[in-house]
């Protein structure tokens, strides 16, 4: 019996149902919990495919940091449910357009022949991970691809994340003029003879 195929179907079905529940539930806390379930199922699929490094990276980064942060923020917020009638037709049309776009991309990716041939365009367009993973580990393969073929994109992604982090820090800083702050330069430049004063009190 092919247990890997059954586990793949199991993880895929749970991931699909959990992803549908993320967008269908009205409670934000429950949506984040189902999002964590999606990440855990995708981790299981990556382990079955032999990409252990990507699997545990997804588990540590997304489930251990980002999803828990989402859950913490959602539970700290005071979310009030406002009963108002909204026009859902534009959202429905936009959702159907996105659905058919992703479905088209999925069908195109299924019909692509990823076998190496004489087509140089496909050779430079994608990386054959199976050939690289035979002689190297997952970490070595990802490192070689990121720092050689996609080094510019990798550096630009880090630069954009740095700009986003700096922008978030600048936006969250509140400069108040009525708060007394410690002036270290003024304290160091004062005269030592004027630090202590003797005051003669009257009897």
pLDDT in tens, 165-182: 888 777 767 666 666 777
Q: Which long-range contacts (CB under 8 A, 24 or more apart) does 27-34 make?
A: 28/74, 28/79, 29/71, 29/74, 29/75, 32/67, 32/70, 32/71, 32/74, 33/71
- What's the rounded Cα separation, in Å, for the pair 4 and 50? 11
Q: Averaged over 3-19, what is the pLDDT?
A: 90
Model pTM score: 0.57
The CATH code of the domain at 1-78 is: 1.20.120.1200
Q: Judge whether residue 160 has pLDDT over 50.
A: yes
Q: Averaged over 72-80, what is the pLDDT?
A: 70
Q: Judge whether residue 25 has pLDDT over 80.
A: yes
Alpha-carbon torsion angle 64, 67, 68, 74, nearest 10? 180
> What length does the chain have?
203
Q: Where in the chain are the domains? A: 1-78, 125-173
Q: What angle do CA 51, 53, 57 make, to 5 degrees?
A: 120
pLDDT in tens, 94-148: 889 998 998 888 888 776 655 544 454 444 556 565 666 667 777 787 788 788 8
């Amino acid at each position: 019996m092919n247990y890997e195929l059954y586990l793949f179907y199991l993880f895929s079905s749970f991931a699909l149902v959990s992803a549908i529940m993320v967008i269908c539930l009205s409670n934000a806390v429950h949506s984040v919990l189902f999002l964590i379930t999606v990440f855990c199922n995708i981790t299981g699929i990556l382990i079955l495919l032999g990409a252990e490094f990507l699997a545990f990276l997804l588990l540590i980064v997304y489930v251990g940091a980002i999803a828990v942060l989402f859950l913490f923020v959602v539970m700290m917020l005071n979310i009030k449910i406002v009963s108002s009638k909204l026009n859902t037709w534009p959202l429905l049309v936009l959702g159907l357009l996105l659905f058919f776009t992703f479905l088209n991309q999925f069908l195109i990716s299924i019909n692509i022949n990823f076998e190496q041939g004489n087509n140089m365009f496909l050779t430079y367009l994608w990386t054959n991970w199976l050939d690289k993973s035979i002689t190297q580990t997952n970490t070595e393969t990802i490192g070689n691809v990121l720092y050689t073929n996609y080094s510019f994109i990798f550096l630009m992604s880090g630069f954009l994340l740095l700009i986003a982090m700096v922008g978030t820090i600048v936006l969250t800083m509140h400069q108040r003029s009525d708060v007394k702050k410690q002036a270290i330069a003024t304290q160091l430049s004062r005269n030592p003879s004027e630090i202590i004063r003797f005051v003669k009190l009257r009897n």
